């Protein structure tokens, strides 16, 4: 088991450290001792711009999320016994650990479901505090919370664009919450500017750094994103007399479920960032801690094609939709690959909505991809899934990704959106000469 020890201040890091331990300074600026990691300075800066002192429990949620991000980043999967599932012991100092101790086991289970790792969390006192009143008052540029009535995660991708549009059309004014990794901010800005009204925005980058190697699987990224959203929604609650505030997490139902396309993709190799079981687990933790936030995915029963079809009559939407980013590999050269699972679902959605897809993919024709042993893995898996869907029972298949809500409309909605989503992929492949 790898021990990850988090600190509120560089001065807290011991001079003598055990071999194999990873020491991390949270919200750290300036110099840290050699061999010590740091992250979160940008998060502290973002929190200072909301114009009020964030509740300690919401700030401690950010601290927990940063500690989890540190462990996920600075401990390599390739060093695990099976080269994937790590055993992680994370020591986290909090402003007030008392609300978090009762949910520790539940939180460890949620993280295990999300990342496939074995988590052991320890909460202690003396954690980093939020920005001081003097720092908050000294900010010239602040986030205007006065017009926002809910928070919405906003990656700048197609789903979050639709989610924000839907809220605005319903008369809501969301506070857009973004996880601005390097390169993401540009297309997040572009998509936000395409919205019909100006929305306030909360954006931060954890920016984990150290001198050692880092892991790039990033299975817990969504937990950090949810912590940002919870902090933003809590800030809104504080300006509204403590009433409960919605945190919307827009993601199409097929991707949210992410049932394994083939048997070998079962388990932690399939991301579970917005799976209903994970979101439900986080909601239970938020409720137990006492945070006034209601988390929901408004698109959980829609396919991506159904989402695009609803907005296909809007020329502004069509022009912006093709400029959003869906590919997880686009940062390599600034282009979307066109052949990974997210890209194929995106392309199938435009096909279903009869919207011309002018995205400049690296791989447009699918036939050559299917014949290339180095490129075809995702496409072959999608093709296998579309064939399997002709005969397979859907509910047992969907359950392979994780528990579903109890019997009723929610459960049926999950099964049926998976069926329709696989159907969209099948029709897209057939139209492109991939039977």
| pLDDT tens-digit readout, 160-189 | 999 999 999 999 999 999 988 766 788 899
pLDDT value of residue 190: 93
**238-267 per-position pLDDT tens digit:** 999 999 999 999 999 999 999 999 887 655
Tens digits of per-residue pLDDT, 102-113? 999 999 999 999
- φ, ψ of residue 28 in degrees (nearest 5): -75, 135
User: Is 226 part of any domain?
Assistant: no
Supply the pTM of this predicted model. Answer: 0.95
Selection from 78-92, 217-231, 292-306 with the highest mean pLDDT: 292-306
Determine, yes or no, domain membership for 151. Answer: no
Identify the CA nearest to 95 among candidates 62, 129, 63: 129
Residue 149 lies in a domain: no
Structural domain contains residue 335: yes
With respect to residue 62, please indicate whether it lies within any of the assigned structural domains.
Answer: yes
* pLDDT above 90: residue 234: yes
* Portion of the chain with pLDDT greater than 70, in percent: 98
Tell whether 57 is covered by a domain.
yes
118-122, 204-208, 348-352: the lowest-pLDDT one: 204-208
Number of domains in the chain: 2
Cα-only R_g, the chain: 22
**Per-residue pLDDT tens for 356-413?**
999 999 999 999 999 999 999 999 999 999 999 999 999 999 999 999 998 799 999 9
Domain termination residue (choose one: 85, 113, 131): 131
Cβ atoms of 187 and 219 closer than 8 Å:
no
268 pLDDT tier (thresholds 50, 70, 90): very low
CA pair distance 424, 60, nearest whole angstrom: 42
* Other C-beta atoms lying within 10 Å of the C-beta of residue 416: 16
Residues 6+ apart with CB under 8 A from 88: 1, 2, 4, 71, 75, 117, 118, 119, 120
In a domain, 94, yes or no: yes
Handedness of CA 268, 293, 90, 37 (dihedral sign): positive
Three-state secondary structure call for residue 301: coil
Task: Give residue 332's pLDDT band: very low, low, confident or very high (50, 70, 90).
Answer: confident
pLDDT value of residue 334: 81
Share of the chain above pLDDT 90, in %: 88
Instruction: State mean pLDDT over 268-280.
Output: 82
More confident residue, 176 or 270: 176
269, pLDDT greater than 50: no
- 427, 426, 401, 425: which is closest to 414 by C-alpha? 401
Distances in whole angstroms, Cα of residue 10 to Cα of each of 27, 29, 102, 206:
10, 9, 29, 17
Label residue 272 by pLDDT band (50, 70, 90). Answer: confident
Average pLDDT over the chain, rounded to whole?
Answer: 94
Please report which confidence band the pLDDT of residue 209 belongs to, taking 50, 70 and 90 as the band edges.
very high
Residue 216 binned pLDDT confidence (cut-offs 50, 70, 90): confident
The residue range of the domain holding 399 is 325-435
CA gap 275, 254 in Å, rounded: 10
44-97 pLDDT, tens digit each: 999 999 999 999 999 999 999 999 999 999 999 998 888 889 999 999 999 999
Q: Among 21-30, 119-128, 302-311, 327-336, which is the least confidently predicted range? A: 327-336
Indicate whether 55 belongs to any domain. Answer: yes
Query: What are φ and ψ of residue 140, in 5° steps?
Result: -80, -35
Chosen domain end from 72, 102, 131 = 131
Check if the beta carbon of residue 338 is closer than 8 Å to that of residue 329.
no
Helix (H, G, I), strand (E, B) or coil at 256: helix
Of the listed ranges 21-30, 48-57, 122-131, the one predicted with least confidence: 21-30
Residue 375 burial (C-beta neighbours within 10 Å; 0-12, 13-18, 19+): middle
What contacts 403, CB < 8 A, 6 or more positions away? 277
Q: Which residue has the higher pLDDT, 331 or 28?
A: 28
Decide which of 75, 100, 131 is a domain's last residue: 131
pLDDT at 28 (0 to 100): 86
């Amino acid at each position: 088991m790898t021990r990850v020890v988090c600190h509120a201040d560089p001065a807290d890091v011991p001079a003598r450290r055990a071999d194999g331990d990873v020491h991390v300074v949270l919200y750290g600026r300036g110099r840290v001792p050699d061999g010590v990691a740091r992250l979160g300075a940008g998060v502290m800066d973002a929190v200072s711009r909301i114009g009020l002192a964030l509740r300690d429990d919401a700030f401690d949620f950010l601290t927990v999320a940063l500690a989890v991000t540190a462990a996920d980043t600075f401990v390599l999967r390739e060093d695990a016994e099976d080269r994937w599932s790590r055993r992680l012991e994370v020591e986290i100092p909090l402003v007030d650990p008392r609300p978090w101790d009762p949910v520790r086991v539940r939180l460890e289970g949620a993280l295990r479901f999300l990342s496939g790792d074995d988590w052991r969390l320890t909460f202690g006192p003396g954690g980093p505090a939020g920005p001081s009143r003097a720092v908050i008052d000294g900010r010239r540029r602040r986030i205007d919370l006065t017009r926002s009535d809910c928070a919405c995660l906003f990656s700048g991708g197609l789903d979050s664009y639709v989610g924000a549009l839907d809220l605005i059309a319903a008369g809501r004014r969301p506070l857009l919450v973004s996880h601005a990794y390097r390169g993401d901010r540009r297309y997040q800005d572009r998509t936000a500017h395409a919205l019909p009204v100006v929305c306030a925005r909360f954006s931060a980058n954890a920016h984990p750094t150290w001198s050692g190697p880092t892991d790039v699987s990033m299975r817990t990224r969504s937990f950090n994103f949810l912590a940002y959203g919870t902090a933003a929604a809590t800030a809104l609650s504080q300006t509204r007399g403590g009433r409960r505030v919605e945190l919307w997490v827009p993601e199409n139902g097929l991707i949210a479920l992410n049932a394994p396309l083939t048997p070998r993709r079962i388990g932690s190799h399939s991301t579970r960032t917005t799976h209903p079981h994970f979101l439900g687990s986080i909601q239970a933790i938020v409720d137990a801690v006492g945070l006034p936030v209601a988390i929901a995915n408004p698109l959980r029963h829609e396919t991506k094609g159904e989402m695009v079809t609803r907005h296909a009559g809007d020329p502004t939407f069509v022009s912006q939709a093709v400029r959003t980013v869906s590919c997880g590999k686009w940062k390599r050269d600034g282009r979307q690959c066109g052949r990974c699972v997210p890209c194929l679902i995106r392309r199938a959605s435009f096909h279903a909505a009869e919207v011309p897809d002018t995205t400049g993919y690296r791989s447009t024709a699918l036939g050559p991809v299917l014949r290339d042993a180095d490129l075809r893995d995702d496409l072959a898996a999608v093709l296998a899934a579309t064939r399997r869907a002709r005969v397979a029972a859907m509910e047992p298949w969907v359950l392979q990704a994780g528990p579903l809500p109890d019997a009723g409309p929610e459960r049926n909605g999950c099964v049926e959106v998976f069926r329709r989503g696989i159907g969209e992929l099948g029709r897209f492949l057939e139209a492109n000469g991939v039977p």
